[in-house]
Every structure is written in structure tokens, then in C-alpha cells.
Amino acid sequence: MPDAHHTTRARQRELTRGALVREGRRLFAAEGYAAVGLAEIVRAAGVTKGALYHHFDGKAALFRAVLEVVQQEVAGRVAAAAGAEDDPWAQLTAGCRAFLTAGTDPEVQRIMLLDGPAVLGWNEWRALDEAASARHLTEALAGLTAAGEIPPQPVEPLTRLLSGAMNEAALWLASSHGPTDLDDTWAALSRMLEALRAGPPAR
């Protein structure tokens, strides 16, 4: 069994990392990645630069950890919205709408949609996005295909197309300011989703 000293040190490391992620998130959301310096982050977290470098290689690595937390929270919102529905098709549409709605949150916009691709690069940003949410979308589409709600087809390209459409819509919403932009975007996405559905069986 670990002794009390090691347990205390592990707990302290966990608290330090948590403080850095929490304060980094607050500052990145409020000021944007480029405007935030390491000195500001460690001062807000109440730790030293040495403590930061013990956990992260630098500001970009801390930002990556913050982005992962935000993406997981958005995925949780999507899963909760889908889980509140009983019908599989309603689960898909509720989850898609929850994703678009999450993208209107200023903190999500700044960290996940605006700074995320710019700081990490598109490939790494997409990899994190897939790890957080693409698996759930794949499972939902596979279930709908198996149930006959969607015509038989390879699910992987369909997942990529739908995920790409939603990410592009969310990126656009992050830079738009119209009062009806979210409703208009959801209406367009709803029409796209309905076009995927299998029609009534031929007589």
C-alpha cells in the first residue's frame, strides 16, 4: 500500500495540475490564447513556473489539456441531450442540436472552435474532436442504419460528412452575430438529417 507521504504528494500534484487547468481555462476563455502569458497563469493558479513545467511542456501543452476538458464537457452535453430521448432518431437529432447550441457558448467558441485549430493545428484538433465525440456519432448512425431508419451504407464516411458539416456550422456560428443564426443553422441541418432517412417502403 502507498504510504501517507506518497499519497499526500500525489494529491498535491493533482491539485496543482487542476489549478493550472482551471486558471488556464479561465484566462484563455477571457483573453484568448495569444494574449495570455505563462506568468499570468502561474500567478492566478498560485504556483511557480517550475510547477507548471513539471506538468506541461509549455503554454501549448496546457492549452491542449484545457481543450480536452472542454471537448469532453461538450460531448457530455450531447450525450445528455441524446439520452433524454427514447426514440433513436430523436436521440440523433437532439445530440446534433446540443452540439450546435454548445458552440454558441462564448467559452466553447474561444477555446474549442477559434483557438483550438489555430494553436494545435487542424490534424491534432480533429484527432481530439474524434476522441471526444466521433465514436458516439458513429454508434448512433450504425444503430439507425441497422434499424432501417437510414438506408444501408458504409457508416464511416457518413460519420465524417456529418461531423464535418456540424464542425463547419459551429465554426461559422462562433464568428457570426445574427440573432437567428442558431435557429437558421439548425433548420438547415435538420433538412440535411431528414434527407438521410429511409423513405417509406415501395408498394
| Mean pLDDT in residue range 162-188 | 89
- Spatial distance between the Cα atoms of 172 and 185, rounded to a whole number of angstroms: 9
Domain of 17, in residue numbers: 1-56
The answer on 28 and 87 residing in a single domain is no
| Mean pLDDT in residue range 28-41 | 96
Residue 1, pLDDT above cutoff 70: no
The answer on 135 and 76 residing in a single domain is yes
Cell readout for 2 is: 502507498
Residue 96 and residue 193 in contact, taking contact as beta carbons nearer than 8 Å = yes
Q: Name the domain boundary from 37, 56, 75.
A: 56
Residue 27 and residue 111 in contact, taking contact as beta carbons nearer than 8 Å = no
Domain assignment present for 203: no
- Spatial distance between the Cα atoms of 81 and 76, rounded to a whole number of angstroms: 9
The answer on 74 and 45 residing in a single domain is no
CATH number, domain of 10, equals: 1.10.10
| Mean pLDDT in residue range 31-35 | 96
The answer on 74 and 117 residing in a single domain is yes
CATH number, domain of 89, equals: 1.10.357.10
- Spatial distance between the Cα atoms of 129 and 70, rounded to a whole number of angstroms: 10
| Mean pLDDT in residue range 20-38 | 96
User: Which residue intervals of the chain are DSSP H helices?
Assistant: 4-31, 38-45, 49-55, 59-83, 88-102, 106-108, 116-120, 122-129, 135-146, 155-175, 181-196
The answer on 78 and 172 residing in a single domain is yes
pTM for the model stands at 0.86
Split at pLDDT 50, 70, 90, the class of 69 is very high
Q: What is the pLDDT of residue 202?
A: 42
Split at pLDDT 50, 70, 90, the class of 111 is very high
Residue 203, pLDDT above cutoff 60: no
| Mean pLDDT in residue range 154-168 | 91
| Mean pLDDT in residue range 75-95 | 93
Residue 35, pLDDT above cutoff 90: yes
The answer on 88 and 138 residing in a single domain is yes
The answer on 111 and 16 residing in a single domain is no
The answer on 49 and 133 residing in a single domain is no
Residue 45, pLDDT above cutoff 50: yes
The answer on 69 and 40 residing in a single domain is no
Percent of the chain with pLDDT over 90: 72
Q: What is the pLDDT of residue 55?
A: 94
Q: Between 7 and 124, where is the model more confident?
A: 124
Q: Name the domain boundary from 22, 38, 56.
A: 56
The answer on 188 and 123 residing in a single domain is yes
What's the structural domain count of the chain? 2
Residue 191, pLDDT above cutoff 70: yes
| pLDDT, the chain, mean | 90
Side-chain-side CA neighbours of 48 within 13 Å: the count stands at 3
The answer on 82 and 52 residing in a single domain is no
